[in-house]
Structure 1
Amino acid sequence: MLRLQNVPNVGDVIAKRLISYCGSAQEVFENKQRHLLKIDGIGSYTLKHLFDTAHLADAEREYQYILENQIDYCYFEDPNYPKHLKHCIDSPILLFKKGNMDLEGRKIISVVGTGNITSYGTAFCEEFIADLAPLNPIIVSGFAYGVDICIQREAINQGLQTIGCLAHGLNQIYPKVHAKYQNEVLNNGGFFTEFWSTSNPERENFLKRNRIIAGMSEATIVVESAEKGGSLVTADIANSYNRDVFALPGRSTDKYSVGCNNLIKQQKAHMLTSAADLIYLLNWELEEKTSQSVQKQLFVDLDETEQKIYGYLQREGKQLLDSIAIDCQLPIFKTSATLLNMEMKGVIRPLPGKLFEAV
């Protein structure tokens, strides 16, 4: 498997085709070349590298490193391979991991964003993780500057598992300044990478790493982003995997909210103002006492008319403006103004077709 992973021009998609055709990675190298040429995507150039014995020597050296350093690993067909990632066509055929993680039956989300996190983004991360803590999700990120390390440290503070997806081998940490957080992550989750100990944090590795972040999770959340950035690439990948994407909105004048606002505007992401938005759209459920606590706090912030409309939408589900006004016995103009206020408070959301629903 290591030898196959190391062959130039054989990405994960082609590697899986080879394994499917031959039966295993070992049998790929035992097959006749004329048979392999029948596989879509395999040409003479690829075959030349496929049977180059230098790749076998490299694989043997890496395997020795894995044994000496007690690196755990999982093959894409193994039961312990991350289940969400397994469904991605270009997922790594081999993942290396280190730490103390338990993914079985767990809720998993990815949180990414700018390396230049602002006080607005930091405050959101703190509140968001604190509100999600009762659900005990696993938080995945890239262990990078800014949003990544902020969200992973908050996860640890709340006693949650967190996983860092790396763009290099497990023999190093990048950025080096984050080495001080390494043991905390290892004790409260761990690290995944597809890269060998000979791999350094090159630019193209970060782009490949992003698909693991997006693929491992039920949903990807972008906290802050400039108009361009790696977190937007991760959001695009998550969309290509048909995963939910969320983005934290910000002021139009804020540099590190432009990317998030564009995701929302282009309907590439749901607007995320609180943990409640994520819980609702992913159909997660809090424990009953937590739900009651949230609802009690919610109604403290609503006036009598708002409570009436909110209660109606909870009972009846999605409703048109006219239906809300008629059933709640309110004038249209007052209903419209009240709905706008409630939307600003984050307790309802507008939907296509002039519908409204409770959050």
Structure 2
Amino acid sequence: MTQTQLISVLALLNVKNIGDATAKKLIKYCGSAENVFKEKKNNLLKIDGIGELIIKDLYNPVHFKLAEEELKFVNNNQIQLSYFTDATYPEKLKHCLDGPVLIFKSGNIDLHNKKIISIVGTRQITTYGTAFCEKLIEDLSPLNPVIVSGFAYGVDICAQKTALKYGLQTIGCLAHGLNQVYPKVHEKYVAEIEKNGGFITDFWSKDNPERNNFLRRNRIIAGLSEGTIVIESAEKGGSLVTADIATSYNREVFAVPGRTDDKYSAGCNNLIKHQKAHVLTNAADVIYILNWKIEEEKKNRVVQKKLFIELDETEKNIYAFLQKNGKELIDIIALECKLPVHKVSTTLLNMELKGAIRPLPGKMFEAI
């Protein structure tokens, strides 16, 4: 795309009342952003959903002046641009109606043919959340997934620091332009993240990290990945917004269960209770739900790394039975393993928490 074409795209995006979905509609009708500004007003008004209010501000010359200034900033700082039809534009984001028309990138981002997950949650992460996040990424690391998050306090930075620890590509989605770092204390991680990953935003250099911007950037976090994981969340929070957006994109959502009286597990527990998220107890759940194909050697390391060490004799007996026979009813498990049903019920619950088995509809269970 030429510099002139980019200026037209930026100018269109700067028009009040024209968001990404509307901009795409106008570009599709006119053939390009340049042609939008050349098209007669009466013709634009014939487009479904386009009214006087939307194009009222379209012909203000200030849009081109600001667009030129922004492009100058981009060029001077070697920022990468991806237009929504470019090959460099994230493939999964292309399928989102409200995905950004133009994204700004820094670092060494590679999203081609990758397993990509987003990890989000509260800024007040607990020791439980920290331990779970670190263990999850450690166990997934042999599959070399890309870890996407929001570079904020708490769960976000925990996920991204852990990704760096295991040599995984990580991407921070920002709620402001690439001319600044927020929070400032995270500036020390920027260079390392850009070395193996980077940052993505659709905000200009003039945009500051305001509350509404964080909510808007959540669509990028959800849109980049095939699955969004909520580690911890209070009853209300930005990570729940991200989960809702992911659901609207027909992406998988996972939530880590916690104690019923734990403030920062309330959001996750509600997602699970209302069947808006899969229960996430370990890495095997992600692999299974997302249908990630892995070599047997990697599967053994990730899924069964410490399985038999952690199982007692009764659990080993039930696990061996399920491995041999596949999914089975709880009554049949009790009968074949020569155990009372109440004993099997308790044991299966413990095994589920350990990640050894998975419950299925109809009181059936299967080994992972």
After superposition, residues 231-310 of structure 1 pair within 5 angstroms as 231-293=239-301, 294-295=303-304, 297-310=306-319
Deviation at 1:99, TM superposition (A): 0.3
Assess if the C-alpha contact under 8 Å between 1:165 and 1:192 holds in 2: yes
Assess if the C-alpha contact under 8 Å between 1:250 and 1:260 holds in 2: yes
Q: CA RMSD in A?
A: 1.7
Aligned pair 1:314/2:326, yes or no? Answer: no
Q: Secondary structure at the match of 2:18?
A: coil
Assess if the C-alpha contact under 8 Å between 1:134 and 1:286 holds in 2: no
Q: Which residue of 2 aligns with 1:99?
A: 107
- For structure 1, the 5+ residue unaligned runs are none
Assess if the C-alpha contact under 8 Å between 1:169 and 1:199 holds in 2: yes
- For structure 2, the 5+ residue unaligned runs are 1-8
Letter in 2 for 1:239: T
**Could you tell me which of 169, 172, 178 is aligned with 1:164?**
172
Deviation at 1:129, TM superposition (A): 1.3
Deviation at 1:331, TM superposition (A): 4.8
After superposition, residues 42-191 of structure 1 pair within 5 angstroms as 42-191=50-199
Q: 1:160 to 1:31 in 2, by over 3 A?
A: same
Q: Secondary structure at the match of 1:50?
A: coil
Higher mean Cα deviation, 321-330 or 106-115? Answer: 321-330
CA distance, structure 2, for counterparts of residue 67 and residue 196 of structure 1: 13
Aligned pair 1:355/2:355, yes or no? Answer: no
Q: 1:296 to 1:15 in 2, by over 3 A?
A: closer
Letter in 1 for 2:361: P
CA distance, structure 2, for counterparts of residue 327 and residue 243 of structure 1: 39
Question: What is the TM-score with the length of structure 2 in the denominator?
Answer: 0.93
Deviation at 1:329, TM superposition (A): 5.7
Q: Which residue of 2 aligns with 1:343?
A: 352
Q: Secondary structure at the match of 1:213?
A: helix
Letter in 1 for 2:256: L
Assess if the C-alpha contact under 8 Å between 1:109 and 1:220 holds in 2: yes
Assess if the C-alpha contact under 8 Å between 1:221 and 1:246 holds in 2: yes
CA distance, structure 2, for counterparts of residue 338 and residue 227 of structure 1: 31
Higher mean Cα deviation, 347-356 or 129-138? Answer: 347-356
Deviation at 1:334, TM superposition (A): 4.2
CA distance, structure 1, for counterparts of residue 340 and residue 222 of structure 2: 46
CA distance, structure 2, for counterparts of residue 314 and residue 8 of structure 1: 60
**Could you tell me which of 220, 223, 227 is aligned with 1:219?**
227
**Could you tell me which of 2, 5, 11 is aligned with 2:13?**
5
Deviation at 1:135, TM superposition (A): 0.5
Q: Secondary structure at the match of 2:56?
A: helix
Q: 1:319 to 1:185 in 2, by over 3 A?
A: same
CA distance, structure 1, for counterparts of residue 252 and residue 239 of structure 2: 14
CA distance, structure 2, for counterparts of residue 292 and residue 237 of structure 1: 33
Letter in 1 for 2:285: D
Assess if the C-alpha contact under 8 Å between 1:134 and 1:287 holds in 2: no
Q: Which residue of 1 aligns with 2:4?
A: none
CA distance, structure 2, for counterparts of residue 108 and residue 344 of structure 1: 25
CA distance, structure 2, for counterparts of residue 258 and residue 179 of structure 1: 31
Deviation at 1:180, TM superposition (A): 1.3
Q: Which residue of 2 aligns with 1:40?
A: 48
Higher mean Cα deviation, 344-353 or 287-296? Answer: 287-296
